[in-house]
Chains A and B, each alone.
Chain A
Amino acid sequence: AQKVTQAQTEISVVEKEDVTLDCVYETRDTTYYLFWYKQPPSGELVFLIRRNSFDEQNEISGRYSWNFQKSTSSFNFTITASQVVDSAVYFCALSEQAAGNKLTFGGGTRVLVKP
């Protein structure tokens, strides 16, 4: 069965600090996909990134970067030079090809960026 664990429930930082969100997953499938979504106070989930299990290259998009390590089943997310607008709940999610690509979400990490 697929499972996603986000051990950090809440992180508080001061603006311009870096923040790293941890995500650990469990799956028995060899083909799977990992996602990060952002949920701002408005409530709508916003897609940030998708990685497949065969591509372990790290990715950078502006102030966001992702570190995928199959050896430790982790897919961590770093926000560099955080801004107040980054305040939100961030969810890591997993989908298995064998399970019809349905998403299993972690419990989320609330990030609070203080000015």
Chain B
Amino acid sequence: EAGVAQSPRYKIIEKRQSVAFWCNPISGHATLYWYQQILGQGPKLLIQFQNNGVVDDSQLPKDRFSAERLKGVDSTLKIQPAKLEDSAVYLCASSLSLAGPHEQYFGPGTRLTVT
């Protein structure tokens, strides 16, 4: 079974530029998550989708971050404009559904460096 796919793996941009990350979850997984992991810290949830609907985006900086999951499968996370403090690894995860404590499976992440 294929795991969670993410691209690109690395991205370097200058502040005020925009960037987009892509995630393809495990086939059949209804729930998709985006996390931000700053160096030396645990992952922090940015947004959670159930199919193509947003369940929780309370920690998403909506003035610069946006995410979508239009067809309930792939998802894109965008930052515009980027700030230095956005330098982090962006992790995508998926799980079977919201109902029940299904474990989340993580992708390899995208390491973003903002200069």
Cβ-based interface call for A102 (8 A): yes
Instruction: Indicate if the CB atoms of A50 and B103 lie closer than 8 Å.
Output: yes
B98 contacts the other chain (CB 8 A): yes
Interface residues on B, range: 20 to 34
A8 interfacial by beta-carbon distance below 8 Å: no
Q: A43-B108, A95-B101 are in contact. Are A100 and B55 (CB under 8 A)?
A: yes
Cβ-closest chain A residue relative to B108: A44
Q: List, in ascending order, chain A residues with CB within 8 A of B98's CB.
A: 100-101
Do A102 and B106 form a contact, CB below 8 Å, given A33-B101, A43-B89?
no
- Residues of chain B within 8 A of A101, CB atoms compared: 98, 100-102
> What's the minimum C-beta distance from A44 to chain B, rounded to whole angstroms?
5
> Which of A12-20, A64-72, A73-81, A104-112 is near enough to bind chain B?
A104-112
Chain A: interface secondary structure? strand
User: A50-B101, A52-B101, A101-B101 are known contacts. Are A106 and B108 too (CB-CB below 8 A)?
Assistant: no
Tell which of A44, A102, A108 touches B45, judged by Cβ atoms closer than 8 Å: A102
A42 proximal to B (CB < 8 A): yes
Instruction: Please determine whether B44 and A105 come into contact, CB atoms closer than 8 angstroms.
Output: yes
Given A45-B43, A108-B42, decide whether A103 and B108 contact each other with a Cβ distance below 8 A: no
Residue of B48, B102, B106, B111 near A45 (CB, 8 A) is B106
Q: Measured between C-beta atoms, what is the minimum distance from A41 to chain B in Å?
A: 12
Closest residue of B by beta carbon distance from A110: B40
Q: How far is the CA of A37 from the CA of B106 in the complex (A)?
A: 10
Known contacts A43-B89, A46-B106; 8 further A-B pairs (Cβ under 8 A)? A44-B106, A44-B109, A93-B42, A100-B55, A101-B98, A101-B102, A103-B43, A106-B42
Q: Which residues of A contact B (CB under 8 A)?
A: 4, 33, 35, 37, 42-47, 50, 52, 91, 93, 95, 97, 100-108
Q: List 10 A-B contacts (CB under 8 A).
A: A35-B103, A43-B89, A43-B109, A43-B111, A45-B91, A45-B93, A47-B105, A50-B101, A50-B103, A97-B101
Q: Which residues of B contact A (CB under 8 A)?
A: 33, 40-45, 48, 55-56, 89, 91, 93, 98, 100-109, 111
